[in-house]
Amino acid sequence: MNDRPTPSAKEVVTTHSVFGAPCWVSLTSRDLPATEAFYSAVLGWRWRSAKLGDKFRIALADGAPVAGIAGVASMWQMAVAWTPYFAVASANEAVARAQERGGTTAVGPISFPPGRAALLADRDGATFGIWEGELITDWETWRRAAPAFIRLHTRDAFDAAIFYGEVLEWATTRPGCCEVHYEGDEVVLRSGGDVVARIESGALEAAPDPTIRPHWQVHFAVDDVTACARTAEQHGGSVLGKTADDAVLRDPDGAQFTVTSRRQP
């Protein structure tokens, strides 16, 4: 599916070359050891330290990077949640564009050498992050393996596509920008020809159930959805919904995510 060459060990991938595309997913956590234990049991992840400091971890599946965990929820008074991050050439400019279009800023931009990050919400309240700078080591491995997929459940997919397109410079004249396609009732985002995100309508802004309100949902590919759901419950999590091909789960800290069968096209 992806014929891009693998960078050499010394080659650094930055957000200037992949701007606008999802570049990582990260979980804010209150308790790093407990979070590590839960996701190790449910998804089989292992862990390594991150450049950002001792409150951050990189999750590994079969030795490849999958996601990040940031143990900063209590320190920064942030919600415990899975959040997708998008690559931007300038964090300051992306934040300004979001605010000009009705979005809000929760955190940042702040420096996290080797880059800068901000946590934002779109005008319907869905939370997302932006990252400017160097991407993680082995990022191309993460991109080719596609262990995580993101989908925006929002009030109006086409309105949301306009917001994100203007903030993240989708479908512009800049070489390498992401392509936006309208397929039925969905908006499909492609980067380098690969589908990297989908946006769908139908979320309700005032719904009491957070699974119905506008939000970015992070999906992880697994071999056995049923086994993941069962293990999540055995380790203090819960199952919010399940089909043969996917299950919406909640970890013990309250973060919501989806496991999706690798057999799905």
Tell which residue, 72, 71, 123, has the closest CA to residue 97: 123
Under a CB-based contact definition with an 8 Å cutoff, are residues 187 and 180 in contact? Answer: yes
Mean pLDDT, the chain, whole residue set: 86
Least confident among 14-28, 36-50, 156-170 = 14-28
Query: Where does the pLDDT of residue 133 fall: very low under 50, low under 70, confident under 90, or very high at 90 and above?
Result: confident
pLDDT at 35: 94
* 247 vs 228: CA distance, rounded Å: 8
Query: Where does the pLDDT of residue 5 fall: very low under 50, low under 70, confident under 90, or very high at 90 and above?
Result: very low
Query: Where does the pLDDT of residue 193 fall: very low under 50, low under 70, confident under 90, or very high at 90 and above?
Result: confident
Q: Quick one: CA torsion of 27, 28, 34, 39, rounded to 10 degrees?
A: -10
Q: What is the pLDDT of residues 39-73, one digit of tens each?
A: 999 999 999 887 766 788 999 988 888 899 987 76
**What pTM does this model have?**
0.88
Query: Where does the pLDDT of residue 1 fall: very low under 50, low under 70, confident under 90, or very high at 90 and above?
Result: very low
